[in-house]
């Protein structure tokens, strides 16, 4: 039998080095990671087997088995899931396949604080965490539908081997040769405790094989199928971390059963931290679709609109056919109804939070507002509801305001909602364009998200008040009653006195600037600065112009 020796990808070696040498206190999580992989592998086979039942080869009772040997100091985790062939082993266990792991490496390399290594537990470095407790790891695997089994082995020190092997049935057996220090992981009470703590929500049985019979250690029913009253906060959180590969705690957990025309169960999480791929151009979601507990797909646009892509969790439908393929999801009327239902549910949760938990909502908005605002121009049917909860910074105070609150504070005679946009709040606050508005006591919204340039023109109004950029011409402030009439009268007097010389000044500035500007005008929008740039009334807003230039359009 030929054995091939290979080197880990450089990144993996680095990762292993961190994992092994970390003083990380909670070693238990290696088991959570391996059980989670085993359960994922069963989910994958269950899905593949819908179209190809022969893949199951009569072995349709998915299970994770734990075997211990406290004489040889060995722990084995076995599953009858999809399994891996030679190429899979090399791709999955020789490189960094998991983007969460890549992110972890990134975080660690940016800091030399040893304490940050504790992040391992939160990120979950997946398979490689086995090397925290084992001096050697053997992976014996046979892919469902194939004949040849393979054995992958490594001591986690830079190299691994792959060789042909013998195995009954399909699936994967991971054997950990524990270091003396971690003998405890062959003890039943330890395994029972770890599985209860971290893997109780796994939908398939985790079985401890003992001399006196097998013992199922977990609840083994998918968490979302259990009644709310029987699930603890801890279990919801653990499920969130497992299911979403997340390392924060959820801000909101929404668990409900939709009944009526279509039936489904939703277990949705709103995170506290941004998922790492939040701003990827693909705008992929994080919600998983199940049909009667069979995993179908993750992150489909058909499930939630992209402006809610940070929502993770599970939706389980009773009304879709089990053999629904990923392609069939498009234009599926049942799914469209589910999507509308889920979107409304999340929106009403946000509305409630905005009313009852202002501080929490503001934090949420700070983190995800820029993404939610994409819905303002992409999702006509929910635009008004989004606009009502949307929050803004403004020239009044340092907090957030809603548009309704802004409108309430509008000056007598003020017809429009004024805004200025740019990259940075503090720079915006210093803009000379704001001087005239400040003098009249008119509040201006400060917009710093690029997405604002897109929804503002398409939404146009709120409660029949137009949005107007203060960097655009024609922002006429004459109708607005001033806060301090004395002062502005004085200024007006000065202005009229200098009319003739002003014309001459404007003419000479026009000559000096030539074609660099379109026009030079007198304006009432400044009080202390001598001049400022504004955009054409009909043309683009200043920031939009800058954004377009950056993109060479």
Burial class of 43 by CB neighbour count within 10 A (0 to 12, 13 to 18, 19+):
buried
Give backbone dihedrals phi and psi of 359, rounded to 5 degrees, phi first: -65, -45
Least separation in angstroms between CB 266 and ligand ADP: 24
- Give the C-alpha separation, 308 to 302, whole Å: 12
Q: Answer whether 138's CB lies under 8 Å from 178's CB.
A: no
Residue 35 contact partner, candidates ligand ADP, Mg ion, none, CB within 5 to 8 A by sort of partner: none
Q: How many CB atoms lie within 10 A of CB 384?
A: 11
What part of residues 62-81 is at the interface with ligand ADP (CB under 6 A)? 79, 81
Closest separation in Å from C-beta 129 to ligand ADP? 8
With CB under 6 A as the contact rule, which of the stretches 34-42, 335-343, 407-415, 420-428 interacts with ligand ADP? 34-42
Shortest distance in whole angstroms from residue 530 CB to ligand ADP: 59
**Binding marks (x or -) toward ligand ADP, 369..408, rule CB under 6 A?**
----------------------------------------
**In the bound complex, what is the minimum distance in angstroms from residue 118's beta carbon to Mg ion?**
19
Using CB under 5 A as the criterion, what x/- string covers residues 120-149 for binding Mg ion?
------x-----------------------
CB of 84 to ligand ADP, least distance (A): 5
Stretch that binds ligand ADP, among 31-39, 47-55, 295-303, 385-393 (CB under 6 A): 31-39
Query: What is d(CA 235, CA 196) in angstroms, rounded to the nearest whole number?
Result: 10
From the list 34, 29, 28, 27, the residue with the least C-alpha distance to 64 is 34
Q: Is 37 in the site for Mg ion (CB under 5 A)?
A: yes
Of the candidates 33, 138, 200, 453, which one interacts with ligand ADP according to CB under 6 A?
Answer: 33
Q: Which residue number is nearest to Mg ion in terms of Cβ? A: 126
DSSP characters over 461-487? EETTEEEEETTBTT---TTSPPS-HHH
Pairing, β 417-421 against β 465-469: parallel
Using CA atoms, how far apart are residues 249 and 269, in angstroms rounded to an integer?
A: 9
- Measured CA to CA, the distance from residue 84 to residue 146 in angstroms comes to 10
Q: How far is the CB of 149 from Mg ion (least distance, A)?
A: 21
Q: Which of the choices Mg ion, ligand ADP, none does residue 41 contact, using the CB cut-off of 5 to 8 A by kind?
A: ligand ADP
**Looking at beta carbons only, is 92 or 175 nearer to ligand ADP?**
92
Measured over the CA atoms of residue 536, residue 541, residue 543 and residue 549, the dihedral's sign is negative
- Contact partner at residue 79 from ligand ADP, Mg ion, none, CB < 5 to 8 Å by partner kind: ligand ADP
* 3-state DSSP assignment of residue 28: coil
Phi, psi (degrees; rounded to nearest 5) at 361: -65, -40
CA-to-CA separations, 90 to 104, 152, 503, in angstroms, rounded: 21, 9, 77
**C-beta neighbour count of 298 within 10 angstroms:** 16
Site string for ligand ADP, 281-300 (x = CB under 6 A): --------------------
Q: Which residue is nearest to ligand ADP (CB)?
A: 126
Residue 349, judged by CB atoms within 10 A of its CB (0-12, 13-18, 19+), counts as middle
Residue 445 contacts residue 418 (beta carbons within 8 Å): yes
Q: For the chain, what is the total number of helices (H) and then of strands (E)?
A: 18, 19
Contact call for residues 276 and 103 (beta carbons, < 8 A): yes
| Residue 81-100 contact track with ligand ADP, rule CB under 6 A, x = bound | xx-x-------xx---xx--
Q: Which is nearer to ligand ADP, 97 or 533 (CB)?
A: 97
Cα–Cα distance measured from residue 370 to residue 193, given in angstroms and rounded to the nearest whole number: 42
Q: Is 172 in the site for ligand ADP (CB under 6 A)?
A: yes
Which one of 37-45, 356-364, 389-397, 470-478 is the stretch in contact with ligand ADP (CB under 6 A)?
37-45
Single residue of 22, 47, 74, 126 touching ligand ADP by CB under 6 A: 126
- Min dist CB 18 to Mg ion, Å, is 17
* 319-378 residues near ligand ADP, rule: CB under 6 A: none
**What residues contact residue 22 under an 8 Å CB cut-off, 6+ apart?**
117, 118, 120, 132
Using rule CB under 6 A, residue 47 touches ligand ADP: no
Single out the segment in contact with Mg ion by CB under 5 A; choices: 35-43, 56-64, 268-276, 451-459.
35-43
- By CB under 5 A, name the binding residues for Mg ion: 37, 126
Give the interface with ligand ADP as residue ranges (CB under 6 A): 33, 37-38, 40-41, 79, 81-82, 84, 92-93, 97-98, 126-127, 172, 245
């Amino acid at each position: 039998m030929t054995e091939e020796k290979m080197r880990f990808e450089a990144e993996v070696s680095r990762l292993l080095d961190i994992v092994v040498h970390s003083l990380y206190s909670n070693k238990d999580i290696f088991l959570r990671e391996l059980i989670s992989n085993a359960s994922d592998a069963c989910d994958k086979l269950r899905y593949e087997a819908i179209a190809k039942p022969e893949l199951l080869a009569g072995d349709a009772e998915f299970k994770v088995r734990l075997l211990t040997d406290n004489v040889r100091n060995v722990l084995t985790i076995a599953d009858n899931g999809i399994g891996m062939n030679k190429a899979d082993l090399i791709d999955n266990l020789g490189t960094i396949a998991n983007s969460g792991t890549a992110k972890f490496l990134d975080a660690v390399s940016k800091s030399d604080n040893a304490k940050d290594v504790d992040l391992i537990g939160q990120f979950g470095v997946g398979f490689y965490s086995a090397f925290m407790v084992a001096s050697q790891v053997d992976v014996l695997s046979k892919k469902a539908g194939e004949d040849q089994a393979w054995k992958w082995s490594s001591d986690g020190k830079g190299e691994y081997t792959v060789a042909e092997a013998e195995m009954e049935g399909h699936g994967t057996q991971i054997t950990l040769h524990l270091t003396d220090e971690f003998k405890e992981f062959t003890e039943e009470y330890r395994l029972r405790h770890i599985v209860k703590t971290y893997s109780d929500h796994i939908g398939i049985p985790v079985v401890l094989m003992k001399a006196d019979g097998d013992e199922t250690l977990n609840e083994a029913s998918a968490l979302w199928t259990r009644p709310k009253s029987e699930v603890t906060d801890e279990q919801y959180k653990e499920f969130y971390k497992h299911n979403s590969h997340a390392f924060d705690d959820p801000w909101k957990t929404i668990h409900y059963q939709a009944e009526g025309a279509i039936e489904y169960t939703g277990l949705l999480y709103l995170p506290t931290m941004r998922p790492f791929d939040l701003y990827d151009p693909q705008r992929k979601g994080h919600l998983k679709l199940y049909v009667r507990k069979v995993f179908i797909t993750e992150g489909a646009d058909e499930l939630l609109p992209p402006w809610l892509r940070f929502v993770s969790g599970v939706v389980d439908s009773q009304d879709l056919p089990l053999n629904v393929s990923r392609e069939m999801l498009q234009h599926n009327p049942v799914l469209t109804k589910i999507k509308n239902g889920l979107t409304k549910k999340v929106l009403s949760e946000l509305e409630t939070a905005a009313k009852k938990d202002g501080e929490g909502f503001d934090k949420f908005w700070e983190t995800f507002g820029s993404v939610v605002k994409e819905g303002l121009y992409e999702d006509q049917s929910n635009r008004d509801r989004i606009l009502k909860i949307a929050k803004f910074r403004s020239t009044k105070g340092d907090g957030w305001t809603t548009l309704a609150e802004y409108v309430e504070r509008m000056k007598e005679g003020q017809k429009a909602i004024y805004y200025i946009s740019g990259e940075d709040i503090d720079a915006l606050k210093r803009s000379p364009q704001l001087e005239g508005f400040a003098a009249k006591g008119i509040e201006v919204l400060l917009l710093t998200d690029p997405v604002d340039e897109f929804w503002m023109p398409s939404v146009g109004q709120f409660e029949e008040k137009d949005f107007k950029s203060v960097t655009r011409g024609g922002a006429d402030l004459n109708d607005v009653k001033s806060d301090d009439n004395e002062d502005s009268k004085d200024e007006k007097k000065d202005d009229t006195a200098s009319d003739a010389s002003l014309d001459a000044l404007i003419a000479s500035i026009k000559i000096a600037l030539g074609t660099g500007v379109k026009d030079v005008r007198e304006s009432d929008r400044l009080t202390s600065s001598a001049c400022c740039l504004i955009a054409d009334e009909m043309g683009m807003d200043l920031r939009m112009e800058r954004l377009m230039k950056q993109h060479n359009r």
